[in-house]
Every structure is written in C-alpha cells, then in structure tokens.
Structure 1
Amino acid sequence: MDRKQHIAIFTTASLPWMTGTAVNPLFRAAYLSKDGERKITLGIPWLKSKDQELVYPSNITFRYPSEQERYVRQWLEERTGSKSTFDIRFYPGKFAIDKRSILPVGDISEIIPDEEADIAVLEEPEHLTWYHHGKRWKTKFRLVIGIVHTNYLEYVRREKNGQLQAFLLKYANSWVVSIYCHRVIRLSAATQDYPNSIVCNVHGVNPRFLEIGKKKLEEQQNGQKPFKNGAYYIGKMIWSKGYKELLKLLHDHQKELSGLEVNLYGSGEDSDQVREAAKKVGEFMRVHPGQDHADPIFHDYKVFLNPSTTDVVCTTSAEALAMGKFVICADHPSNEFFKQFPNCRTYSDPKGFVDATLKALTEEPSELNDSLRHELSWEAATERFLRAAQLDQPLKKLESAPSREIFASTSFNLISNMEDASTYLHNLASGFEISRRVFGAIPGSLKPDEELSKELGLAVPSERQGSGSRT
C-alpha cells in the first residue's frame, strides 16, 4: 500500500472562537502535515448563523464554510509564516448554551470517506462521543486516539449538586472513551484517568511567543531592562478560571504585597462580577477586556500570576514562559510540565504564593536556552504526539494488526463481546430523541436539520429521524 497514512483530526471548536480546542488542534494539523509524509484532515464544527452570533467574538460570522476556512487558514499562516497544506472539512454542530460548548450533530465520522479512514484523533473524545450515533469509531478507523483536553469533573464539581454530577460524569466519560478509543493521551495528570491512557503534553505554543522571547533575551544580553511592568493575569473571565482564588490571595495579603499593581485581562460571562470583586480588593487591581496574549501591551510584564487549577495544561502559562517571563502557579498536576523551566515558580499555600511573587518581582528571569525553547515549540509537541500515539512506527505495523478471529483466547473474546454489547447499548440509547434529551443532548441533534444540511452540502434529511444506524 503506497498511499500516504491519513490522519483525521476531529475537534470541538473553531476560530474565531479563541479557545484551546480551536487553536491547538489547528496547530497540530499544520505541524503534522509540514513534512508531507502524511495526509492530514482537520474536522471542525460548522454552526448556523444564530449560533455563530452566540459563540464568535466581535460580531464575526460566516455565510459559507469556505469563508470560515479562509479565515482559519489566514490566521494560521500569519502565525506560522507558511501556507497550510492539510485539508479542512466541516461537520454539523450546535451550540449548547447551558454547557457553553459546541456539540456534534449526527454521525460526524461521515466527513471522512471509508477508503480514507486510517487514523482518527478525537480532541476531547468524551465530548465528541457522549451523544454519538452512527458507525462505530473503532470499526470505521483502524486506530482511534483520544486527546483529553478538559478537566470536566473539576468544572462540574463547582456546580449545584456537583459531587453527584461529577460521580455520574466520571462513569459516562469512561464508558464512551473506552468503547470508542484504542489509545488515550492525557495532557496532564489533572485529567480523569482512563484505561490504555498515557500522560503526555502534546501541545506547543504559537511560534509568535517564542519570537517575542528571543527579542527579550536580546534586550537582556544588550544590557537593557527587558521587563518594565509588574504582574498580570490573562484568561477567560469566568470564576472557574482562577479569578476567585487570585482575588482572595491578593485581598488576604495586601500588606505583604503592598506596592504591587496587578492587571487582569479577560472577557467572559463573569466579567461584571469579577470587575466588582476586584474593586473591593483595592485600587491596585486593574481589570481590562480580553486581548490577544501576543499583543505588545503584554511584552513588558515580568510576572504572570496563574492560580487556576481547572486547566489541564494552561496555554497562557506556556506562552508566558515562551516570552521569557516568570510564571507563578499552583503546585498542581496541571502544571507538572512547566516545572522543568527555571522561570516557573510553584506554591502550595498562600505564604508560598506571596514569597514566590515577591522574589520574582526583585529578580530577572533566567535565559531560556535552546533546549527549553524547543520543549515549548510545536515541533517538539508533534514529536511527543507521534511517540505517545505510537505513530512513529511504520504504517505496516498498524495495517497488520490481527483480527479478532485470530485470537482464540476466551478472555479476549469475552472482553470483545462485552465491548460490542456496550457499544450497541450506547448506540441504541443515543438513537432516540427522548433518551438523548434525558442525558443532556441538544434537541434535534440526532441528525442535521435542513438548514445545516444545505449549508454543508449534505443530503436533506427526511421528516422522521431514524434510529438504526450501523455500529
């Protein structure tokens, strides 16, 4: 078989929504396709105009998928300095207001023809398969790799009846991920554990941040003072992103941190509440709308404060390190990757936060050497991904995987039969509107409606949605 290995990457968001699952899979597709050895397809959600208005910032909307594709490619090319060579295909999606998430509509695996279905990468596998109804991922693709981005259990615990919800969600996640994925990559140990999983940070930073860091290093080597400002934090302005913890730390330790001015940058549902809470902390707190972290207004800050423990691997912390700054963060599994960098200072209690912050304010950051700079890059992230997914092996090793008939083992057959039964049960439950609604699916998401179908060039569905898709 002389054709190229085909990797189809499915993700749960797209630009211009500046969220991790929009940006990181996009870079992954770009860097996997760079050497030309593989064919890469990125599958992203297409939303109807009313959903686009709810999700995308600055009143940006698109009439056609081709318009959004041009926007995505232009954004990427401005940051990588080269044209992208991978394919982009859209699947139908709907925005769930209660979950603040885009959820797939119908069987999204259909955007990849069967003859191209080699390897699937599910970015947020639980999210993509909670309500999946259609062909079984493991049947269509020879290898299915899940990359766990989000600490859903931590978010749910913060809601009403959070412990019970987290308990139920943990088992639901384990169920769908185990029946639909062969291998699972967890970005950090902060995520839920899964069978056949490995912990590995397979993300890098936008090359722009490494360039900023190089310029700051040149300033330092030329005897200039590269960082003239104090401390800041940037993140989506919702309480669960660490704002509550940061405001409490700054409020409780105003005396020790006297003279410190902290600037918060972000936009989100809790912006007004955060702004009011910051006023009560003191005049040394400044709250600003969200900005691109690469904007020049951030270049001169020396200390990035990030007390969040809901992130899996915080992108903004990685970006701050790439720019040569100090990062003050919690001693938490989500920050394990960053501990190898001398400019990362972790704390385990409020006193540790105060000590680390004061020390960073009086010192100059260490130089980021070539080896550590490489660790933050997407080149290194791509190498880690290929190793963790075992895709650094020749394609023939995947092709020659033995079929279940070769295995005479009773235990293997029992496990296979149990998994088949479990998959059948999920497919059955996800095939009826009533049962889907019970488990939190968006109404009418079993199959795309007429409007979504026309916009994506799909067959217009009949009035009655069926429930007997193949598994």
Structure 2
Amino acid sequence: MLNLGAERPPPQLATGTAEKALSFLSKGWREVRDSADADLQLMRQRANSFKNLADRELEHFLNSAAIPPSGAALPSPSIAEFELVKRIQPKLSAIRRAYSSPEFGRRVLEKWSPKATIRIDLSAIKNAIVSEVDEVGAALDLSWDEDQTKENSRWEEGRGGIIEQGKGWEPIRILKTRLKEFERKSQSTEIFGTFKSSEFIEKVKLSLQSICKETEESMDVPPLDIPELLAHLVKQSWPLFDHLGVRRDIYVKMVETLCSRHRDQVMYHHSLYAKEESLYENEKISDELDLRIASVLHNTGHHYEGGFWTSFVKNESADKKHHVAIVTTASLPWMTGTAVNPLFRAAYLAKSAKQAVTLVVPWLCKSDQELVYPNNLSFSSPEAQEAYIRNWLEERVGFKADFKISFYPGKFSKERRSIIPAGDTSQFIPSKEADIAILEEPEHLNWYHHGKRWTDKFNHVVGIVHTNYLEYIKREKNGAIQAFLVKHINNMVTRAYCHKVLRLSAATQDLPKSVICNVHGVNPKFLRIGEKVAAERVHGQQAFSKGAYFLGKMVWAKGYRELIDLLAKHKSDLEGFKLDVYGNGEDSQEVQSVAKKLDLNLNFLRGRDHADDSLHEYKVFVNPSISDVLCTATAEALAMGKFVICADHPSNEFFRAFPNCLTYKTSEDFVSRVKEAMASDPQPLTPEQRHNLSWEAATHRFMEYSELDKILSNEEPMNGDKAIYSRKIKKSMSMPSLSDVVDGGLAFAHYCFTGNEILRLTTGAIPGSRDYSKQHSVDLRLLPPQVQNPVYGW
C-alpha cells in the first residue's frame, strides 16, 4: 500500500543538491561550446585552405587558356571555349570574392541554429552562365530537332500547370529552355557541331525527360473512398460466401453497385499509360477494382513482399530451366488411372525437352505390394520397379522418355483401397528442382499431409482431380455424413495447397480455383488398333466378330450395380443379349453371386489389359458407371473404333462429340441403344477425332488450362500498353488479400491438425503414417525415422 506520509528530505539538503546539479550542467555546456568552437575554427581553416587552392587552380587555368602555345593551330571549338572563359571570368571572380569573404562566413555562422536553414542564392551563377551561353549562341544559327520540339511541346502542355504551381520546377524549365535554344542555334555551326552530338548533351536530354516522366507518373491519384473499400472487402470475401452457399451473382451485384458511382475514377491512373481510353471499356468491374487499388498503392510507393501465412522465398533453378514434378498416388503395376495417366503425362511433357520432368510415385513395402500389385508381382528395390515402369511405357509410346522417377514412402489403406503418403511428400523433391508441381489427386495427397506447404515450396502448383470420392463415400455406411465432411476437407486442402485445379469433368465436386477440362489422352497403342480396324474395313474384311463386353475393376462402385439393375429390369427386352464381363476386385464373388441369382446372361472372365488381342474383335463396349470422373476405358474403346454405350452423365460429356458414343437417360433408352449398336457398324474415326483422343492433344489442353504454356515460355500474359502498366504496378498489385490470408490460415490449421496422432486416427488415418517407417528408410535408403524426426523430451 502506498504511504503518502513518507518523510521528505530537509530543505537545506534539497537546495545543495540542486546547486550541484546546475553546476554540473553548466560545466558540461561550457565543454560542449568550447568543443564546438574548436570544430568550427578547424572547419573554417580547412575551407580557407580549399578556397586558396581553388583560386590558384582557376588562375592557372585562365592563364593557360589566355596564352595559347606559339605556333599551335587550335581547332575552332577551343577558341570558343577560351572566349567563353574570358567573358565569365570577372563575374566568377566577383562571386567567389562575395561568398568567400570572412563577413559572409561570419554572417552564416551567426545565423546557425538547430532550426535554421542556410539558403545561398545561386541566381548570380545561373544568370552569368545562361547569359553567356545566350550571347555565344546568338552569334550562331542552329535549328532545333523536330521530334524533340514535339516532345517538349507535349510535355509543356500536359505538365505546364503543375510546374507553375511549384517553385521547384523553375530551374528545370529555365535549363530546358536554354538548352533548347542552344541546340537550335548550334546545328548549322561547325564550332558547336561536335558539342551538340556529344554524349553529355544526350544524357542531359534523357535526364530531363526522365524527370518529367517521373513527375507525370507521380500525379496524385484520388484516394480510395468508403464504397470502394467496401467493394474490395466484399470481393475478397467471395471464398467465404462460396462456403456459406451465397449465390455468386448476389455478391457480384454488390460489388457492381458499390463501384458504379466511381467508374470515372477506376482506371484514372492507368489512363496515363494507355493510348486509347477505350482499351479497358470492356473490363470487368472486379478487374478494374483491382487495378484501381493497385494504382493507389503504386502511387504511394507500396511494395508488398510477403504475408502473414505466406512465404515468398521461391526457388530458382541454377540452369535457368524449368523443372516439373508430377506427384501421384499410385504406380505400376497397379493398373489404375492415377498410375497410368500421370506416367503418360510425364512422358509427353518430357518429350518437348523444354523442361526437366520428375515423376514422383509411392513406394510400398513388401507386405503392401502383395495386397496391391496383381499377378503376385513385387519388387525388392525401387530400381527394379523403375525398370518395370520404363519398359511398360516404352512398349506403348514407341519412344524413350527422358524423365526422372523418384519414390516417396506410401502405405496401403485396406478400408479406402488406396495408397496414403507417409511423411512429408514434398521433401522428396529437392529444393533446387522445386519449381512447378503437378499434384495428381491433390485432395488425396493432402488429406493427411504434414509438411511444408506446396505453394510455399513451389512457384506454381496445379492439381488434377481424377476421382469422384464423394460418390464412393455416399455408398458406404453413414455415407451422407462422411461425404459432407470430406467435401469440406477437399475444399480446404485444395484451396490451401494449389494455385490452379483442373477437373476432368463436372462429375467432381466444385472445388476452389478449378476449371473443367479433359487433360487425359489414350495410350497410342489403342489408336494404332483403331487405324488397323479401319484399314481392314476399307478392304472389306470383317473387323468385329464379337458382340458386347464390359471391362473394369470388380467393385460395386465401378458400375456393376447399375449394370445388374439395367439388365435385370429389362431382362425380357434384351433376350438373347449376352455380355462378357472382364475384371478382378474385392467384390468379385458378391457381384457374380447376385448375377447368378437373377439369372442374368453375363459371362464373367478374368481381368486383362484393355489392349489385349482377345478384346479387339468386340464391337460394343457397355459402361453404365456414373461414379467415374472420366472413364479411361471408354476413351480407349472409342480409340479402337468401337461403339460405346454410356449414361448421359457429366463424366461422359467429353465423349458426346464422337458419333460412336451412344448415351442414354432412361433404362428404356439403354435398351434401344443396345439394339441400335448390335444392328449396325460404328463409323471410322476422322483424323481430327483421333487427334482429340491422343496424348499430344491432351498435353496441349493441359498446358493451356493450367497456364503452364505462359510460365514455361516466360511470356507476358498481356500485350501492349496493358502489359507495360502491369509491369509498373506488379508489386503493388501483390498486396495482402483476405483470400491469401484465409488460404494460409487454412494451411496452418491443417498442419497443426495433421501433426496430432490422435486427431489423425479419429479421421481414419493409417496408424504411424505421419512419418515413414523403419522399413521405408531401409528400402529407400533414408535416414532412420528417429533421426529424421527426433522426439525431444526430458
């Protein structure tokens, strides 16, 4: 508790202390003043010494200029220089005497104080030089360059008002005018002919132009007002509105309403760079708002270099060559879409030789290999599996693909029937090669990803969605609840870890930052089979001797449920129709048991490669699946020249352009399509249709929709004045946005969540999958887990 009645020192003691303090301060002030006087005296002596030295040098120069060597023939420019020096010598001497006199130094030092400003009038020097240049130039007859006159006229008309407002521009205007007159008079005279074309004059003109341009660019931009700030806040909140289910047209209308009263200011600063005002008349409101805010930030000198969650330290390759890392969730010999399609993508991207390509695939331990790979195949080392992958690929593409294959630790989940990465997958791509990442199935790769954020390590990250996981999950127990959770988890991880997302069809969920495009092609072997069939038909040979078949992994979600329901419902309508079914899978016994119980005319055969010779003679491929995103088998059947009967579903949208694709909406349509296909022959594919199915066309679509064509070629996405303006405000536009902050926050929250083993297990993760196992470290020759990820404790 504070004691307000504490004793105070006696008055005599307080007075003595105060006197000692004042004496100490007075002594200190005298020492400071004496030191300052000594310093000023030394400065004065040094200034006088320098002045005397300058006087001697100037006198020596004037004397040597006034008396040329006897018998020497000086060029005309030298004579002009001597005359100029003689005429300004008296004025320079007077100026020197005025400013070097003791009285002038005393008056300056008397006015010296912390708030005082020394102002030296240099008008005498300016008037002396300008008048002499004017008098010398008056005797000469030179013309001013026409282009320079036009530029100066434009400059004076556009900036004259601003120059008149400030006295700081007066010297620049006078100097520019005098130089203009001097050059006009010097063009036709030999004396100043060389002086005009000298590098000094050109640099002076360029400097003046840059000063004027800089002033022009630094015009005041109208500040942002409340409606514009609100419009920007609404625009940055679009991801939140999407998650809340607000219709997009509603918040777009809000932005348009807030900006409609300020359309005249939106591109005010940008119009300084545009040649025509109509250049941006057709720009969207959102783009104009971005440029408006960027112009305000650019005018203030703002340069944004990083965010709260985001790391802007990107890697640059030492060889200046782009590196592309394709990371996928499966590998051969598992014949699944995420194993085959990324392999072809790597081969055709590497074929162009414009970029280095690395295919990153999972490595399974021996126990998991026995569960996944068919025909009891297994590999003792990554090198053996890599050799198998390369041999399989070269047999089908017909060329040697020059790309690297790297392995990351993976574990097989029996419940999900898929491979889950173990540990931080991004660490298996060296930092010097971390340029562009292509994540095949980005949601799958990042469900339990606990490591560096992909968008922080890589300059550009593209996700390709292969699988409709929601459709599979809905078929499971409590599927609706699980699908709801997985939908939002997929949204979170793709938003946090990708710059761009490509969906193969509209059958997948509408993910953030996504566009729809089929970026898959077919194995070239199927196109060669189709060409062979077309040639046989031209020569009158029977190309198809068998009827209909279905091929696919034998699990209910792959279309077997729909197929059995259709055949059972129209068993009488399709009497005599026989269907051969090829496939292996976990539900094989159950599927065959149901078909036998319903007495369906289905012939079940062992699964085989779709390019097998025994399948070439079939005429009709039946695929009723609606769980696929883009069925590879459907594309392969079309490439071989067969009929394809499939559902009228978003997953089959790409195939509708082919005449041999017969779609149905109802079960009655299915019956009519089957009868139509069995009674007629398919049409031969045109060269354009074959090209659209090829991997060359798929790679071109991928480069375009992922924007890699611009990145790999280092092109500017805009042309003309728009590109110039974009470069001017590039750093200003990269300002912190609510969307970036949200994405970074989601990544950080996901990192914290996946770091906890209990939370991982409650969401279905494989135990111990946060880090790779000891067996992985042995197989892949990695550091032991306890060394790579040590656990510190007491």
TM interval, short-chain normalised: over 0.9
SS of the residue 2:645 aligns to: strand
Q: Contact between 1:190 and 1:312, CA under 8 Å: does it hold in 2?
A: yes
Q: Deviations over 1:64-97 (max 9, x none)?
A: 0000000000000111111121000000000011
Q: CA deviation at 1:284?
A: 2.7
Task: Write the distance in 1 (CA, Å) between the matches of 2:471 and 2:442.
Answer: 17
Matched with 1:70 is 387
Q: Contact between 2:567 and 2:600, CA under 8 Å: does it hold in 1?
A: no
Q: Contact between 1:266 and 1:289, CA under 8 Å: does it hold in 2?
A: yes
Q: Contact between 1:94 and 1:102, CA under 8 Å: does it hold in 2?
A: yes
- Structure number having the greater helix percentage: 2
SS of the residue 1:204 aligns to: coil
Q: CA deviation at 1:463?
A: 7.6
- The question of 1:438 aligning with 2:755 is answered no
Q: Which gives a bigger RCO, structure 1 or 2 (Cα 8 Å, sep 6+)?
A: 1
Change beyond 3 A, Cα 1:188–1:424: same
Q: CA deviation at 1:281?
A: 3.7
Alignment of structure 1 residues 89-168 onto 2, 5 Å = 89-168=406-485
Matched with 1:456 is 780
Q: Which of 1 and 2 has greater Rg?
A: 2
Matched with 2:364 is 47
**Deviates most, 387-396 or 299-308:** 387-396
Matched with 2:731 is 406
What is the RMSD of the two structures over their aligned residues, measured on CA atoms?
A: 2.1
Task: Write the distance in 2 (CA, Å) between the matches of 1:413 and 1:346.
Answer: 45
Matched with 1:264 is 581
Q: CA deviation at 1:194?
A: 1.2
Q: CA deviation at 1:182?
A: 0.4
Q: Contact between 1:52 and 1:61, CA under 8 Å: does it hold in 2?
A: yes
AA at the equivalent of 1:265: Y
Q: CA deviation at 1:398?
A: 8.8
Matched with 1:389 is 706
Q: CA deviation at 1:283?
A: 6.0
- The question of 1:370 aligning with 2:687 is answered yes
Q: Contact between 1:431 and 1:466, CA under 8 Å: does it hold in 2?
A: no
Task: Write the distance in 2 (CA, Å) between the matches of 1:413 and 1:392.
Answer: 26
**Deviates most, 269-278 or 162-171:** 269-278
Q: Deviations over 1:135-157 (max 9, x none)?
A: 11000000000000000000000
**Given the two structures, how large is their TM-score scaled by the length of structure 2?**
0.57
Task: Write the distance in 1 (CA, Å) between the matches of 2:496 and 2:652.
Answer: 30
Q: Contact between 2:562 and 2:625, CA under 8 Å: does it hold in 1?
A: yes
For structure 1, the 5+ residue unaligned runs are none
Matched with 1:342 is 659
AA at the equivalent of 2:760: R
Task: Write the distance in 2 (CA, Å) between the matches of 1:358 and 1:311.
Answer: 25
Matched with 1:307 is 624
Change beyond 3 A, Cα 1:409–1:109: closer
Task: Write the distance in 2 (CA, Å) between the matches of 1:454 and 1:356.
Answer: 55
- The question of 1:250 aligning with 2:575 is answered no
Task: Write the distance in 1 (CA, Å) between the matches of 2:761 and 2:730.
Answer: 38
Q: CA deviation at 1:447?
A: 1.0
Task: Write the distance in 1 (CA, Å) between the matches of 2:367 and 2:767.
Answer: 15
Change beyond 3 A, Cα 1:277–1:180: same
- The question of 1:34 aligning with 2:358 is answered no
- The question of 1:419 aligning with 2:743 is answered yes
SS of the residue 2:376 aligns to: coil
Choose from 592, 599, 602 the match for 1:275.
592
**Deviates most, 275-284 or 203-212:** 275-284
Task: Write the distance in 2 (CA, Å) between the matches of 1:348 and 1:47.
Answer: 42
Task: Write the distance in 1 (CA, Å) between the matches of 2:495 and 2:337.
Answer: 23
Change beyond 3 A, Cα 1:135–1:353: same
Q: CA deviation at 1:196?
A: 1.4
Matched with 2:642 is 325
Task: Write the distance in 2 (CA, Å) between the matches of 1:40 and 1:56.
Answer: 25
Tell me the matched-pair count.
466
Task: Write the distance in 1 (CA, Å) between the matches of 2:322 and 2:546.
Answer: 48
Q: CA deviation at 1:214?
A: 0.8
Q: Deviations over 1:400-437 (max 9, x none)?
A: 999x9934787x43322222222111111111211211
Task: Write the distance in 2 (CA, Å) between the matches of 1:394 and 1:423.
Answer: 25
Matched with 2:4 is none
Task: Write the distance in 1 (CA, Å) between the matches of 2:673 and 2:599.
Answer: 21
- Structure number having the greater strand percentage: 1
